[in-house]
């Protein structure tokens, strides 16, 4: 029988919405760069703007991946575990 | 890519006189918003570092908080650049023959229109409010002769000077048109032989 307290899902389930979000983010980034190249004013300034935007985007995305890969994504999430962690551990430094 | 030396449908002897964008104040607002939206959460995290650190090392909450944080900062970065692109691509080009108005509204809406200077009937400069008076920026409205259409130069530097230049260019274009035996029908310039 289904028991809510022993029900668990892996933490990696959160990577699905994150992956979708990243796909939309990258689409918008490319579209933004396309707009700048297609309609921007020809000159050195435009190249600097595109470099800053592309560089910052690469830095943020790679930084996010670097931090996220440190976690163990196979960890299960138990409902009772969340409640205990929330009530006992998360605010223990207060 | 736009090149001021090669305008779209450039006419013979056409020269760019003014290239206008919104005043630097518009870009300052974007930068301040970016600094606040990215700096305030980082400051809060730094102030409550003991708690945040506990959350980050938690096997359940750590990944979720990191994902949410990553999504937030990516959103701030992208929104800032979309706003910047909107600012950067909003331009007004005044040549000795016409006015070209390019407006970018978000990523999926772009309007490009042009107007012959000889069709201009009235030019108005507007400086309104404390900030515009102190930093000398404002709007210029260019009204056409035949229709109720107006071109708006929004939040540009030194609007009165721009208005004077546009007025002078309109006069020159009308004289040139008259000397060539041309005529203006609506917004269409018919050059004489």
A90 touching chain B per CB within 8 A: yes
Q: What is the pLDDT at residue B48?
A: 94
From residue B11, how far is each of B94, B123, B185 by CA, in Å?
Answer: 13, 24, 19
CB-nearest partner of A11 from B19, B60, B84: B60
Residues of B in Cβ contact (< 8 Å) with A18: 67, 70-71
Query: pLDDT-based confidence at B78, cuts 50/70/90?
Result: very high
Residue B55, H or E segment = helix B49-57
Q: What is the pLDDT at residue A24?
A: 96
Q: Domain ranges in chain A?
A: 12-89
Residues of B in Cβ contact (< 8 Å) with A75: 59-60
Q: What is the pLDDT at residue B15?
A: 86
Question: Average pLDDT of chain B?
Answer: 86
Mutate to test the interface with B, among A23, A40, A62 (most CBs of B within 10 A): A40
- pTM of the predicted model, to two decimals? 0.81
From residue A37, how far is each of A41, A51, B69 by CA, in Å?
Answer: 8, 12, 30
Pick the more confident residue, B8 or A8.
Answer: A8
Q: Using the 8-state DSSP alphabet, how is residue B7 labeled?
A: -
Tens of pLDDT along B80-132? 999 999 999 889 999 988 898 888 887 788 888 888 888 888 899 999 999 89
Residues of A in Cβ contact (< 8 Å) with B3: 41-42
Residues A42, A63: Cα–Cα separation, whole Å: 31
Tens of pLDDT along B25-44? 889 999 999 999 999 999 99
Whether B88 sits inside 8 A of A36 (CB atoms) is yes
Over its length of 94 residues, how does chain A's per-residue pLDDT go in tens digits?
A: 566 667 778 888 999 999 999 999 999 999 999 988 888 887 888 899 999 999 999 999 999 999 999 898 888 887 666 666 555 555 555 5
Residues B83, B37: Cα–Cα separation, whole Å: 14
Q: What is the pLDDT at residue B45?
A: 94
Contact B101, B151 (CB under 8 A): yes
Question: Would the pLDDT of B188 be above 60?
Answer: no
Instruction: Find the mean pLDDT for residues B74-84.
Output: 95
Whether A89 sits inside 8 A of B54 (CB atoms) is yes
Whether B91 sits inside 8 A of A41 (CB atoms) is yes
Q: What is the pLDDT at residue A63?
A: 94
Q: What is the pLDDT at residue A80?
A: 67
Tens of pLDDT along B9-22? 777 778 889 999 99
Q: What is the pLDDT at residue A20?
A: 97
Question: Which ipTM was obtained for this model?
Answer: 0.81
Contacts of B15 (CB under 8 A, 6+ apart): B95, B96
Q: What is the pLDDT at residue B184?
A: 61
CA of B117 vs chain A CAs: smallest distance (Å): 23
| Domains present along chain B, CATH in parentheses | 14-180 (2.30.29.30)
Question: Would the pLDDT of B160 be above 70?
Answer: yes
Query: pLDDT-based confidence at B140, cuts 50/70/90?
Result: very high
């Amino acid at each position: 029988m289904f028991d809510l307290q022993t029900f668990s899902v892996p933490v990696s389930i959160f990577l699905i919405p994150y992956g979708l979000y990243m796909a939309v983010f990258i689409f918008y980034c490319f579209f933004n760069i396309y707009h700048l190249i297609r309609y921007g004013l020809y000159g050195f300034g435009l190249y600097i703007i595109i470099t800053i935007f592309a560089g910052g985007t690469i830095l943020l995305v790679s930084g996010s991946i670097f931090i996220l890969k440190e976690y163990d994504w196979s960890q299960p999430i138990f409902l009772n575990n969340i409640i205990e962690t929330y009530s006992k551990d998360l605010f223990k430094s207060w | 890519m736009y090149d001021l030396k090669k305008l779209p449908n450039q006419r013979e002897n056409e020269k760019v006189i003014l290239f206008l964008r919104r005043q630097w104040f518009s870009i300052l607002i974007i930068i301040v918003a970016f600094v606040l939206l990215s700096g305030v959460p980082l400051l809060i995290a730094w102030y409550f570092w003991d708690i945040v650190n506990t959350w980050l090392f938690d096997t359940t909450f750590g990944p979720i908080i990191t994902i949410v944080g990553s999504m937030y900062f990516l959103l701030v970065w992208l929104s800032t650049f979309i706003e910047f692109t909107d600012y950067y691509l909003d331009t007004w080009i005044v040549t000795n023959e016409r006015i070209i108005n390019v407006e970018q509204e978000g990523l999926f809406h772009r309007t490009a229109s042009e107007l012959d200077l000889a069709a201009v009937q009235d030019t108005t400069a507007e400086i309104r409010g404390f900030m515009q008076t102190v930093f000398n920026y404002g709007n210029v409205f260019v009204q056409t002769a035949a229709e109720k259409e107006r071109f708006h130069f929004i939040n540009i530097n030194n609007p009165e000077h721009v208005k004077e230049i546009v007025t002078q260019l309109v006069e020159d274009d009308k004289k040139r048109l008259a000397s060539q035996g041309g005529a203006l029908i609506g917004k269409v310039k018919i050059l004489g032989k």
